[in-house]
Amino acid sequence: MAQQAPFGRGTQTVVDESVRKGLQIDPSLVEFCNGESWKCKLQCIAAELRNAYQRDNISLHLYKMLLYEEGGHFAPHKDTLRHKTHIASLLISLPVEGGCEGGVLRVTAPGCSGSGGNAAASGDVMEWDGRCDDVEGSWCSFYTDCQHEWTPLTKGKRVVLAYQVLYDYHYVSQFSLSHSR
């Protein structure tokens, strides 16, 4: 079910635990027991992101589920654009029995914006510990051109849902045409 999480190096997709140590689960295998509640949570996050990114029509697409155990990390990198309208990434940390320590997400600007949950920004660097104070988790979002890294997890496990934040340009062009009539 879970596989070693790869990363992009140039035009190749590779696995190298010195760069990234973690597991991934394909989104087709992820199922939400409380589907309506989760949908409401995502709608609330999307509303905050619309405001933060100053975009009227964004959508969230589950890209993968990630699992980091003790020693899990991801060296500094920028996300690979998966779609021409992919403007940002959204990470939602889920509660795990026993919690975790370490494993801070460090995001460096440009465009370090749209953070929620337990995040703190300092200058052009934002750090997010991903701790979950409730059963729905905490979240963080950042533009795709931001360099970011997961520092090593020192204790426990972390489960993260990774979403692509997409901007629907087609919607904007339809909207523009309807206003020009």
The rounded distance, in Å, linking the Cα atoms of 15 and 24 is 12
168: which residues sit within 8 A by CB, 6+ positions away? 57, 58, 59, 85
Q: Domain boundaries in the chain?
A: 3-9+23-179
pTM: 0.84
Cα–Cα distance measured from residue 90 to residue 127, given in angstroms and rounded to the nearest whole number:
14
Could you give the CA distance from residue 41 to residue 145 in angstroms, rounded to a whole number?
26
Q: What percent of the chain has pLDDT over 90?
A: 43
Q: What is the CATH number of domain 3-9+23-179?
A: 2.60.120
Q: Looking at the predicted structure, is the pLDDT value of residue 158 above 90?
A: yes
CB 66 within 8 A of CB 160: yes
With the C-alpha atoms ordered 37, 38, 39, 43, is the resulting torsion angle positive or negative?
positive
